[in-house]
Amino acid sequence: MKLSLFIGCLTIAFVWGQQLPPDIDKCQAGDAICIAKTITYILQSYPKGIPSIGLDAVDAISFQNVIVSRMESSKLDLKFHTLTVRGFENTTVLDAKGFDADIPRVFELSAFTPLLRLEGEYETQGILLTMPIQGRGQALVELKNCQFRCKVRAVEDQRLDGKRYLEIPKVKCLVDVQSMHINFDNLFNNKDLSDTMNDLANNNWFEIWKTLRKGINSALDQVAGTILRRVAKKFSYDDFFQE
């Protein structure tokens, strides 16, 4: 009897632990406006995450060994040995498509983030703005007024608890920015040359953006995919909506 009661309590605790906090309003399936508002509320109200549903902190997301640019596709190699992305806690979701009662193959999200900061230890060599460049040290990339369009491929995962979960094999995001500012220290092992090169790059930021855009988009794919997969693994699709 005691064992049965203990198991029952554990089961209740497990199920309850996977629920959304009570201040988060659930939406009807298919209500794109409500769903966009709810996701925005979660991101802005819970920057440190919601462990019970698998949501990690969104105000600082860290990775290792992120390749932004390769010489095969451009004239520049740029790699972050460590990379932390900050700023997603200020994201506003503008549109959310595909969140229907029947799980679609693809979800679509559009969002706006006023400022993203990518910072970490970098290493680079190659040609930038027709000039040779090489260095290793700390870097900061600021992306301002970011417009996101993300497509999330999903597969239904029916589990023993009778609820539907999502497997997310692919996330693809495109981001447009209104401006970019970079600072790479220790270029050429010389502060004066670093300052000169950073000033030149920032005065021609759009050309730099065209060079780095594909790699930065790939890095943001990784960020979005990591967030979504962790939540999808722990929190059921059915529990996201009103009954």
* pLDDT tens column, 137-159: 999 999 999 999 999 999 999 88
Q: Which of 208, 75, 81, 124 is nearest to 199 (CA)?
A: 208
Pairwise pLDDT comparison (45 vs 9), residue with the higher score: 45
Q: Is residue 15 assigned to a domain? A: no
CA pair distance 134, 233, nearest whole angstrom: 41
Chain centroid offset of residue 131 CA: 32
Q: At what angle do helices 205-234 and 191-203 cross, to 10 degrees?
A: 90
Query: φ and ψ at 57, to 5 degrees?
Result: -55, 135
Q: Confidence band (pLDDT; 50, 70, 90) for 18?
A: low
Q: Is residue 152 assigned to a domain? A: yes
pLDDT score of 70 more than 80: no
Residue 132: exposed, middle, or buried by beta-carbon count in 10 A (0-12, 13-18, 19+)? exposed
pLDDT score of 174 more than 80: yes
- Segment 175-189 shows an average pLDDT of 95
Note the pLDDT tens digit of each residue in 211-241. Answer: 889 888 988 898 899 999 999 999 999 999 9
| Domain of residue 127, residue span | 24-240
Q: Is residue 9 assigned to a domain? A: no
Q: Confidence band (pLDDT; 50, 70, 90) for 206?
A: very high
Q: How many other C-beta atoms are found inside a 10 Å radius of the C-beta of residue 177?
A: 19
CA pair distance 83, 63, nearest whole angstrom: 5
Q: Is residue 234 assigned to a domain? A: yes
Read off the CATH number of the domain in which 33 is found.
3.15.10.30
